[in-house]
């Protein structure tokens, strides 16, 4: 009985501590395996679109760690926790209130976040995303042998059939994500969900723009909200093509092109080819493109010496070459770059049927398109496979 009373008293103290937080304060409490006793837990905030900013470091004691501080700006923002000896990093929403983490000792990806409105919504979305990812994994596992066999035989009909099946999954994922955004207009993480939907091949950007308009003003006024608004402002420019030509398909020979480099010289696709070549359509104003760049930089650094080449095709605007060059330097994009500075009227984008960015085409040594729009681990796996 005494033990029960002591336990309840301890819980009450903890509850009072959290309830006593001021309107601009946060307390992040992480529960973790005692095997990580003495290890450091590091809190960082997202630094704009392209990096992180250190906030605090604490030591794990008695199977937990605690971060507590006040916020000058109480608007929600994305933050991360990394832990010595644990893979990956834990993404959550930093905002006033008590935030509780249940940390997986093997991978922070598997950890759980709850306690404030935006973190509860983030956890809800993560469960939706996990189901979507599992469907893609199951489909890939089932059809990978048939796909590889069809590619070897140059059986375009079989390749198209498999890709169409994947397109159905993309449409289903799009519906799930859109449903989440419409049902939760105040959820800050919508500003990242909408980016993921924008990267899907079947996305209707005009419809997506209307969904963004329906977001609550409280998240639109955040720094991230302003960045997303700027992206849609550019997409909604009248120069955007209303009808695009048929997109270049997997199995097609990549159309040749030539365009000016940042130095003003002409560079052709043929000159930029490697054993494996990635054609990367992007722009300095494209938030999703810029966020993906660190992953592409890491990939290039690892595989360039083995034969990977990249040619970036920018959809920047006329008169904004300085922004294009600045983005190349800031994001450390050491590969070849070209741009006609014609925004959505870019002839190369039209030639490839590009309707949204980022868009990537992966070519083998012969110049054949062997994959499209892969990102992260999927892109790395494909490059590694082609360079065997």
Q: Per DSSP, which regions of the chain are E strands? A: 25-31, 40-47, 51-59, 64-70, 77-83, 90-94, 97-102, 112-114, 258-260, 266-268, 276-282, 308-314, 336-339, 359-363, 369-372
pLDDT for res 369? 93
What is the CATH code of the structural domain delimited by 2-113? 2.60.40.1120
Across the range 127-155, mean pLDDT stands at 84
* Of 308, 297, 292, 315, residue with least CA distance to 375: 292
pLDDT at 10: 38
User: Which residues make Cβ contacts (< 8 Å) with residue 102, sequence separation at least 6?
Assistant: 30, 31, 111, 112
Contacts of 107 (CB under 8 A, 6+ apart): 86, 87, 88
pTM of the complete model: 0.60
Question: Model confidence over 39-66: pLDDT tens digits?
Answer: 999 999 886 444 678 899 999 999 999 9
182 has pLDDT over 90: yes
Please give the share of the chain, as a percent, with pLDDT higher than 90.
Answer: 48
C-beta atoms surrounding 293 within 10 Å:
23
Q: Which two tokens stand for residue 177?
A: 């994500």
Burial class (CB in 10 A: 0-12, 13-18, 19+), 25: middle
Instruction: Give tens-digit pLDDT for 247-289.
Output: 788 888 999 999 999 999 999 999 999 999 999 999 998 878 8
Six token digits for residue 208: 């997506």
* C-alpha gyration radius of the chain: 23
Determine the Cα–Cα distance for residues 323 and 325; give it in Å rounded to an integer. Answer: 6
Q: Are 32 and 64 in contact (CB under 8 A)?
A: yes
CATH of domain 258-386: 3.40.30.10
Placement of tokens 């199977």 in the chain: 63
Stretch 111-116: mean pLDDT: 90
190-198 helix and 287-303 helix, angle to the nearest 10 degrees: 70
Whole-number pLDDT of residue 14: 42
Model pLDDT, residue 169: 85
Could you give the residue range(s) of every CATH 2.60.40.1120 domain in the chain? Answer: 2-113
pLDDT over 70, % of the chain: 89
Residue 4: per-residue pLDDT: 40
pLDDT at residue number 187: 96
> Which residues of the chain does CATH 3.40.30.10 include?
258-386
pLDDT, greater one: 217 or 150: 217
């Amino acid at each position: 009985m005494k033990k029960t009373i002591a336990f309840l008293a301890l819980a009450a103290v903890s509850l009072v501590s959290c309830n006593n937080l001021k309107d601009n304060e946060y307390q992040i409490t992480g529960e973790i395996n005692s095997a990580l006793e003495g290890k450091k837990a590091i809190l960082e905030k997202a630094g704009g679109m392209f990096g992180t900013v250190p906030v605090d470091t604490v030591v794990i004691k008695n199977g937990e760690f605690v971060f507590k501080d006040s916020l000058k700006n109480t608007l929600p923002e994305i933050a991360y926790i990394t832990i010595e000896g644990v893979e990956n990093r834990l993404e959550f929403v930093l905002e006033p209130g008590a935030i509780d983490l249940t940390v997986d000792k093997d991978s922070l990806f598997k950890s759980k976040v709850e306690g404030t409105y935006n973190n509860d919504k983030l956890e809800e979305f993560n469960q939706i995303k996990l189901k979507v990812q599992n469907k893609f994994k199951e489909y890939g596992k089932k059809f990978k042998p048939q796909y590889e066999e069809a590619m070897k035989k140059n059986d375009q009909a079989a390749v198209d059939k498999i890709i169409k099946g994947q397109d159905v999954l993309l449409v289903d994922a799009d519906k799930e994500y859109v449903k989440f955004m419409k049902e939760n207009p105040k959820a800050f993480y919508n500003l990242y969900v909408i980016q993921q939907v924008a990267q899907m091949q079947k996305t209707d950007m005009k419809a997506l723009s209307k969904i963004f308009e329906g977001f609550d003003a409280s998240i639109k006024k955040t720094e991230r909200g302003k960045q997303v608004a700027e992206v849609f402002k550019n997409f909604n420019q009248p120069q955007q093509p209303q009808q695009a030509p048929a997109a270049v398909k997997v199995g097609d020979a990549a159309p040749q092109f030539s365009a000016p480099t940042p130095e003003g010289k002409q560079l052709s696709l043929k000159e930029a080819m490697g054993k494996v070549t990635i054609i990367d359509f992007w722009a300095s104003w494209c938030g999703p493109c810029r966020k993906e760049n660190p992953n592409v930089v890491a990939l290039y650094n690892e595989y360039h010496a083995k034969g990977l080449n990249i040619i970036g095709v920018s959809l920047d605007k006329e008169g904004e070459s300085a922004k294009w060059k600045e983005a190349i330097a800031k994001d450390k994009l050491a590969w070849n770059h070209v741009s006609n500075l014609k925004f959505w009227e870019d002839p190369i984008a039209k030639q490839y049927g590009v309707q949204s960015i980022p868009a990537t085409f992966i070519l083998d040594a012969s110049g054949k398109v062997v994959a499209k729009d892969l990102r992260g681990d999927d892109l790395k796996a494909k490059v590694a496979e082609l360079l065997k």
